[in-house]
Amino acid sequence: MEKCDVVILGAGAAGLMAGIEAARRGRSVRVLDHARRPGEKIRISGGGRCNFTNRLLTRQNATERFLSRNPRFALSALSRYTPADFIARLDAAGIAWHEKHLGQLFCDGKATQIIDLLLRDLRAAGGELSLETSIDRVEREGEGFLVTTSQGPIRAASVIVATGGKSIPKMGASSLGYEIAQRFGLEIVETRPALVPLTFAEQDLARTAPLSGLARPVDLRLGKTHFAEDLLFTHRGLSGPAILQISSYWREGDTLRVDLAPGDDIAGALAEQRDAAGRQALHNALARHLPEKLAQFVVAEAKLKGRLAEQSNKDLAKLDDQIHRWQVRPVGSEGYRTAEVTLGGVSTDALDAKTMEAKQVPGLYFIGEVVDVTGWLGGYNFQWAWASGWAAGQVA
Ligand code: FDA
């Protein structure tokens, strides 16, 4: 029977990072994955250029930018393996990158450069990778574990679970990591799709259908949480970075408040135009400030009609409300089919924040997205995968 020190389940961002680090410490490492290719989510991420980290992540803002039942859990790993550490790795390998807005870092070339680098580093450290290998069971055996796979059983001193979340099942996402956690008695914080487009009920869709494809910078608010980013109207509801971000906070029944023209006093400008250019239809006057279809939509939502000259100050105040405080209540999300990540997962209460080891099951580790740590859009989720993988790789 094959024996090794560390078996890693999942050859994604977190699993490959943990494998490299453990192998560099001289541990015999085997990374298993049921997919045909490793790191598939790295390959498709960031439009093929992988938004691999975020330069603006700090210890101070991490508890806000990572959602978890215990937002402080991620701090230890994130402060020991930082964005600068991953950047240094890419720089040393000659992988060029650039910064987009809000500190988001992307490869200049293809995301596959990062996968190739991780695979090279794993091989160089002596780690082994077995693809197209399904995992049947993980059981305790003495002090270690017996992992039963489609390629035969493996005895391992440590098992690192890095099987990711549930999003995009057709790319190999599965519930294996959650099932293993439950079998060993670890709590699972309820999972739900996050960083995901939100959907409207039929009657709302009928009103917003003409706006499908329209994108604009907005200020999107849900309670105290708000994001100043682009919003995109779709034929199912709303998407774009602002919506993906707020989707991690949104729950069924919540109403979103949207400022469709942040910082523009459009109603004030219309009030000034009322005397000089009052003969034009209200929606035409508004179309000088907003895209035409949006102008028509806003006027209809405010239930206003007629010429600009006919609008009272109260009417313009109603229009102002629709522009700056548009209230919208999605009914659901597009689900795991399109979600970028899974909120919830293996409870951080069950894990050691420094090592990612299960407190009650020595030798069993959980890293990456399978853990109840979910980052904002913009490179935060890969940074968690690198950092948690690195942390487990130092000790497993
Ligand atoms: P990951 O999902 O990467 O890896 C898990 C591995 O486990 C996979 O290789 C899978 O095949 C394997 N596995 C699963 N079940 C198994 C089983 N039963 N048996 C064997 N193997 C199994 N984040 C970010 O920071 N910047 C970005 O630009 C993007 N962009 C992006 C785009 C899209 C379309 C998606 C879906 C996601 C993103 N993300 C992102 C999120 C990011 O991809 C994600 O958070 C990380 O890949 C998580 O890394 P993990 O290693 O934890 O899981």
- Name the percent of the chain lying above pLDDT 90: 97
Pocket of ligand 1 from Cβ distances under 6 Å = 9-15, 33-35, 40-41, 44-46, 50-51, 134-135, 162-164, 167-168, 172-174, 176, 340-341, 368-369, 379-382, 385
Distance 290 CA to ligand 1 centre (A): 39
CA atoms within a 13 Å half-sphere pointing along the CA-CB vector of 203: 3
CA atoms within a 13 Å half-sphere pointing along the CA-CB vector of 156: 30
Quote the ipTM score: 0.99
**Mean of per-residue pLDDT scores for the chain:** 97
Distance 222 CA to ligand 1 centre (A): 28
- Which atom of ligand 1 lies nearest, measured to the CA of 168? 36
Residue 178 has pLDDT above 90, yes or no: yes
d(C-alpha 378, C-alpha 229), whole Å: 12
Let me know: does 389 contact 15? Beta carbons within 8 Å: yes
d(C-alpha 211, C-alpha 232), whole Å: 9
CATH code for the part of the protein at 2-193+340-393? 3.50.50.60
Let me know: does 32 contact 133? Beta carbons within 8 Å: yes
What local confidence, expressed as pLDDT, does residue 121 receive?
98
Distance 188 CA to ligand 1 centre (A): 18
- How far is residue 332 from each of residues 29, 251, 258, 277, measured CA to CA in Å? 42, 8, 17, 43
The arithmetic mean of pLDDT across residues 338-343, rounded, is 97
Which residues make beta-bridge pairs with 32? 9, 130
175: Cβ contacts below 8 Å, ≥ 6 apart: 166
- How far is residue 235 from each of residues 205, 230, 315, 326, 338, measured CA to CA in Å? 7, 17, 30, 19, 15
> How many residues are present in the chain?
396
Residue 336: pLDDT band by 50, 70, 90 thresholds?
A: very high
Kindly list the domain boundaries of the chain, sorted by start residue: 2-193+340-393, 197-333
What local confidence, expressed as pLDDT, does residue 114 receive?
98
Structure-block tokens of residue 342:
């899974």
Residue 1 has pLDDT above 90, yes or no: no
Distance 51 CA to ligand 1 centre (A): 13
- Ligand 1 pocket mutation pick from 21, 31, 45 by most atoms within 8 angstroms of CB: 45
Common-topology check for domains 2-193+340-393 and 197-333: no
The arithmetic mean of pLDDT across residues 375-387, rounded, is 98
CATH code for the part of the protein at 197-333? 2.40.30.10
What local confidence, expressed as pLDDT, does residue 27 receive?
98
What local confidence, expressed as pLDDT, does residue 250 receive?
98
- Ligand 1 pocket mutation pick from 8, 21, 41 by most atoms within 8 angstroms of CB: 41
The arithmetic mean of pLDDT across residues 242-258, rounded, is 98
Residue 365: pLDDT band by 50, 70, 90 thresholds?
A: very high
Q: What is the pLDDT of residues 188-213, one digit of tens each?
A: 999 999 999 999 999 999 999 999 99
Q: What is the pLDDT of residues 78-106, one digit of tens each?
A: 999 999 999 999 999 999 999 999 999 99
Whose Cα sits closest to atom 43 in ligand 1? 41
What is the helix (H) or strand (E) element at residue 181, kind and residue range? helix 176-183
Q: What is the pLDDT of residues 64-74, one digit of tens each?
A: 999 999 999 99
What local confidence, expressed as pLDDT, does residue 30 receive?
98
Which residues make beta-bridge pairs with 3? 155
Q: What is the pLDDT of residues 27-66, one digit of tens each?
A: 999 999 999 999 999 999 999 999 999 999 999 999 999 9
pTM of the model: 0.97
What local confidence, expressed as pLDDT, does residue 171 receive?
86
Residue 172 has pLDDT above 90, yes or no: no
- How far is residue 127 from each of residues 11, 67, 124, measured CA to CA in Å? 12, 32, 7
Q: Give Rg (Cα) of the chain.
A: 25
Placement of tokens 């939509």 in the chain: 297
Residue 169: pLDDT band by 50, 70, 90 thresholds?
A: confident
The arithmetic mean of pLDDT across residues 332-339, rounded, is 96
Region of residue 65 (phi > 0: left; psi between -120 and 50: alpha; otherwise: beta) = alpha
Q: What is the pLDDT of residues 253-282, one digit of tens each?
A: 999 999 999 999 999 999 999 888 889 999
Let me know: does 131 contact 11? Beta carbons within 8 Å: yes
